[in-house]
């Protein structure tokens, strides 16, 4: 799980790698997140288009870091966060959602999310949010 590569985010010592899962009902958004994140530490293990798919994929791939949309068919992101945190409390979750009200962000954090990024976002905002997420992992 550890390797020695680096992209300027650490102190030069052995660096952890993290398995990444991307959850969003938009293919465009899933590809955008995959393409725009610039962390050598992240290894993409899968993507899902709704909470149910994400839950199944989570059980199979055991990700360390998850980006999670909220408004999705079948199972929304809030319910999915609750379920995956039950399975793996140490998972780090970044919610990436268009929902811009404070109450939704607060609820997501209460369920176990570790960060919240509103759509639309720039590459820089995405990478800053991910950096914050894995710095504390």
Partner 1 sequence: MLQEQELKTFVEGTTNYFEVAAQQPASIGSPYLVTDGQPAVHDYTGMITITGKREGVVYFTAPRAMLTVLLMKMQESDFSHETMRDLVGEVANTISGNARRDFGRDFVISVPSVVAGERPEIPQTAGLRSFVIPINWRSHSAKLVVALK
Which residue ranges make up the site for partner 1 (CB under 8 A)?
25-29, 31-32, 35, 71-73, 97-101, 103-104, 118-122
DSSP alpha helices (H): ranges in the chain? Answer: 27-36, 51-61, 77-87, 102-111, 123-135
Q: How many whole angstroms separate alpha carbon 120 and alpha carbon 25?
A: 15
For partner 1, which is the closer residue by CB, 29 or 134? 29
The CB-of-8 to partner 1 minimum distance in angstroms stands at 23
The CB-of-26 to partner 1 minimum distance in angstroms stands at 5
The CB-of-45 to partner 1 minimum distance in angstroms stands at 22
For partner 1, which is the closer residue by CB, 6 or 73? 73
Q: How distant, in Å, are the alpha carbons of 20, 43, 48, 84 from that of 66?
A: 6, 11, 11, 10
């Amino acid at each position: 799980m550890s390797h020695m590569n680096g992209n300027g985010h650490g102190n030069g010592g052995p660096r952890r790698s993290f398995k990444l899962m991307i959850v969003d009902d938009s293919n465009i958004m899933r590809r955008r997140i995959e393409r725009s994140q610039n962390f050598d530490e992240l290894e993409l293990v899968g993507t899902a288009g709704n909470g149910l798919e994400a839950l199944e994929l989570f059980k199979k791939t055991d990700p360390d870091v998850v980006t999670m949309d909220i408004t999705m068919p079948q199972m929304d992101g809030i319910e999915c966060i609750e379920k995956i945190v039950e399975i793996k409390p140490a998972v780090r979750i970044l919610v990436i959602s268009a929902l811009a009200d404070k109450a939704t962000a607060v609820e997501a954090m209460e369920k176990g999310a570790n960060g919240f990024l509103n759509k639309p976002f720039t590459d820089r905002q995405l990478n800053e949010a991910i950096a914050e997420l894995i710095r504390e992992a």
